[in-house]
Structure formats: C-alpha cells, structure tokens
Amino acid sequence: MIESLISVLLFTTPLAIAAVGETVNQRAGQINIGLEGMMLVAAYVAAIVAIETGSPVLGIGAAIAAMIPLWLIQNFLTIQAGRDQVVVGTALNLCAIGLTSTLYQMRFGQSGQLLSVPQLPRWGGIDGMVLFGLLLVPVLGWWLFRSRWGLVLRAAGEYPDSVRSSGFSVARIRWEAAAVGAVMAALAGAHLSIGVGGTFVQEMTSGRGFVAVALVSFGRWRPAWVLAACLLVGGAEFLKFYYQVRQTALPYQLFLALPYLVALGVLVIVGKNSRAPAALAQPFRSNQ
C-alpha cells in the first residue's frame, strides 16, 4: 500500500510540476496550450542526451536548453505580435509531435525498440524531482502572493493597464512568467522520460500537458490547490488500477468518481470567490 502511494507520488510529479509552472504563467495572463508539446520535446531531448552522455542530470539541463527556442518563438508571436495564444500553442504542439516523432524514427527506425535511458537515482522509491516538485509549491506560492514580483505579475494577468500606469512593462513580466512555465515544462518532460519511465516512446506525454492546463483552473490558480488537484487525479488513476486488480463488491467506477466528487464539493464551498485572471489569454497592446 505504502509502496503504491509512493509510486502515485512519482507518477504525479511531472503533471504537478508542469501544472504549477503553468499556474504562474496563467496568473500573468497567458495560457500555454503548447505545454504538451514543450513537455514532449523536453522528454525526448532529455532521453537522448542522457543516453549519449550517460548522465540524467545533463539530460535535464539539455531539456531546459531546448525550451529556449520554443519559448522565444511562442512568446514572440503571443506577446510581441499579439497573436492568439491558443492558436500559437496548438501550432507548437503539432510541431512538437512531428519533430520528436521524426527525429525518433530517423534515429531508431520504425522498430519501436524499448530505449533504456539512464535514470535519476531514487531513495525509497522517490527521486530528487519529487522532492523538488513538493518544494516548488510553497516557493512559488510565496513568490506569487508574498513578493513584489508576484504582486505585479498577478496585476498583469488581471488588469495590465494598471501595471503600465505603475511604471512596469507588461511584456517583460509576461516573458518572465512564460520562462518560469517553460523551465517547469522542461523539468516535467524530462522527469517523464528519465525519472518515471526510464525510456522514451513517441507521444509519451499522452495528454498530460493538456491535463496540467486544465488542472490549473481546477486548482483555482493557487499552487497548493493545483498540487492537490494533481494528486487527486494521480490518486484516481491509482485507485483504478488498484480495484481492477482486486475485485470488490463495489463497482470500481465509484472509486474512480470519488476524488472528483470530493473535489467538486470542495470547490462549491471554497472556490466561489476565486476565478480566472481577468486578462487571461488577452494580448496586451501598450500603444493605446
């Protein structure tokens, strides 16, 4: 049982890191639909570099470096050129799937052989990234709500004009928030291949990026709640397998639905005063 719970924690970590990073991004008024694609590229790059060098840590570094061009292109289009964030993010996803699949097949052929990637060391079933993910929540929570940086960032997501009239650059804040999101996407993607899976397969993110984006709103744009939402989803997955294996009298669908029902109840009671950042997904033009 304990062992299973630890594996839930491990499996949930990539999702949680990506979602908490995306929370910062959305708080600044940006929605990164391209999170899925970023994680996929990071997973691929981390796996390849880890195989080549034998070092998972170098793999993680390479995954972060690989985010730089994606971050530049995506945010040039959204922040500087004012393009639709959802459209740009979707394009990024399609490119990422095409790119990683092509590179994978060029390198390993169509065989679908199972790659063996050097993994992060584990202690009692968890690795450093799990601890990092757990630590990330209070740190980013403090940063968002208890620092000057966070105050201005949240204002940029709610009412960018007020940021400008206070003398700060909305564009700069959004570039920074996107960078935080991109680094977290890199860590999440890398953890998927070299932390959890120990391999890379095509389209291995299988929707986790999209789920992460959805969980940000489920967690009402607060890092701690977003983490809780991630654990709920991770827990639901776990329950599904658990009850598939052990036949019980109760239909296992009930256990599947339980975390969501609990979450819904909590949201109805606690979440009524929180809502999406008012300027979410709206381009800001400073020349008005």
Partner 1 sequence: MLALAPLDEEFFGGTIHAVLGENGAGKSTLMNLLAGILPPDSGEILVRGTPCRLQSPRDALGQGIGMVHQHFMLVPAFSVRENLALAQTPDRRGGLDEAKLIQSAVDVAAELGWEVPLDARTEDQPVGVRQRIEILKVLASDPEIIILDEPTAVLAPDEVDDLFRVLRQLKARGKLVLLIAHKLSEIVAIADRVTVLRRGVHIATANMAETTAEEIATWMVGELPPQLAGKGGVGSGSVVLRASGLRARGDRGEESVRGVDLEISGGEIVGLGGVDGNGQVELAETLCRVRPLVAGQIESGGTVAYVPQDRQVDGLALGMSIEENFLIGGLSNRDLVRLGVVRPRSVKAWARRLVETFRIKIGRLQDPARSLSGGNQQKIVVSRALDQSPAVLVAVNPTRGLDFAATEFVHSRIVEAAERGCGVALFSTDLDELRQLSDRILFMSRGQLVEGESAQSLLGGPA
Query: Which residues here bind partner 1, judged by CB under 8 A?
Result: 145-152, 154-155, 158-159, 161-168, 275, 277-278
Question: 169: left (phi > 0), else alpha (psi -120 to 50), else beta?
Answer: beta
Min CB(1)–partner 1 separation in Å: 41
Min CB(155)–partner 1 separation in Å: 5
Of 101 and 282, nearer to partner 1 (C-beta) is 282
* Residue whose pair of structure tokens reads 């998927």 in the numeric block: 192
Q: Centre a 10 Å sphere on the Cβ of residue 211 and count the other Cβ atoms it contains.
A: 19
What is the largest distance, in Å, between two alpha-carbon atoms of the chain? Answer: 65
Min CB(140)–partner 1 separation in Å: 14
Of 198 and 283, nearer to partner 1 (C-beta) is 283
* 126 bridge partner residues: 123
Q: How far apart are CA 184 and CA 188, in angstroms?
A: 6
Q: How far apart are CA 31 and CA 54, in angstroms?
A: 35
Count Cα neighbours of 68 within 13 Å in the Cβ-side half-sphere: 5
Of 94 and 278, nearer to partner 1 (C-beta) is 278
Min CB(160)–partner 1 separation in Å: 10
Q: How far apart are CA 32 and CA 210, in angstroms?
A: 9
Min CB(5)–partner 1 separation in Å: 35
The answer to whether 96 and 41 are in contact (CB under 8 A) is yes
Of 94 and 270, nearer to partner 1 (C-beta) is 270
Of 162 and 206, nearer to partner 1 (C-beta) is 162
Of 244 and 273, nearer to partner 1 (C-beta) is 273
Min CB(171)–partner 1 separation in Å: 14
Three-state SS for 126? strand
